[in-house]
Amino acid sequence: MNYEILSAFALATAVLAFTPGPDNIYVLTQGVVNGRKYGLATTAGLISGCLVHTTLLAFGVSLIIRESESIFFTIKFFGAIYLLYLAYKVYKVGDVINLNGTAVPKRSLWQLFRQGFIMNVLNPKVTIFFLAFFPGFLFSSTMSTVWQFYILGLLFMLVSFLIFSGIAIMAGSISSYLRSHKHAGKWLKWIQIVVFVGIAVFLLISDN
């Protein structure tokens, strides 16, 4: 087992997790709107979805998805529809998001976990990214490829969870500041809508 390769993989994963993107922006937004533990629930859901993509990679299904345009587009389409549905639900809550939680009830921890999980699983770009990223970090000549992919997947999940959790905690710590500004809720509502719609559009227009 080559621990230098595993260390390089962990470092690369950390850099990717810190790089601004839809997932960490989504965690940041949920943490600000609902509080840090709700941001952590969202993080747990997003990261748990990576186990599905790791399994697809380990057993070769991701290769089929990449080579079949119809399967790839179908997954992208349903992922985009789900994201647009989430954007519509945010839009329907009213003109602003109430950060004090008096007019708009917070989502439960389970709801946010499930939402993050579904978002991740229905994003075929994650599977394709894993397919492109993981094979370069196989670290053993004796261990089966399936087990190596699972170890890499779990390491990816651990590193990403720690970084995303830090983002969620940071977001929760500034929620009290945002509550003191009357227009903050309105901006956050539309930020959530833009994030959901933006990811949906990205899925639909992106190539394999």
- pLDDT at residue 102, rounded to an integer: 42
* Residue 131 pLDDT exceeds 50: yes
* Residue 105 pLDDT exceeds 60: no
Residues 6+ positions from 188 with CB-CB distance below 8 Å: 29, 32, 33, 97, 99, 178
- pLDDT at residue 182, rounded to an integer: 65
Residue extents of the structural domains in the chain: 3-13+23-205
pLDDT band at 96 (very low <50, low <70, confident <90, very high): low
- pLDDT at residue 206, rounded to an integer: 65
| 54-92 pLDDT per residue, tens | 998 888 866 776 677 787 778 778 878 888 888 888 788
* Residue 20 pLDDT exceeds 70: no
- pLDDT at residue 76, rounded to an integer: 76
Least confident of 34-43, 103-112, 154-163, 191-200: 103-112
d(CA 27, CA 37): 11
Q: What global pTM score does this model have?
A: 0.74
Contact 115, 27 (CB under 8 A): no
- pLDDT at residue 85, rounded to an integer: 86
Q: Percentage of residues in the chain with pLDDT exceeding 70?
A: 80
| 148-175 pLDDT per residue, tens | 999 999 999 999 999 999 989 988 676 5
Local structure of 77: helix, strand or coil: helix
Average pLDDT of the chain is 81
DSSP of 95-143, one letter per residue?
A: SS--TTSSSSPPPPHHHHHHHHHHHHHT-HHHHHHHHHHGGGG---SSS
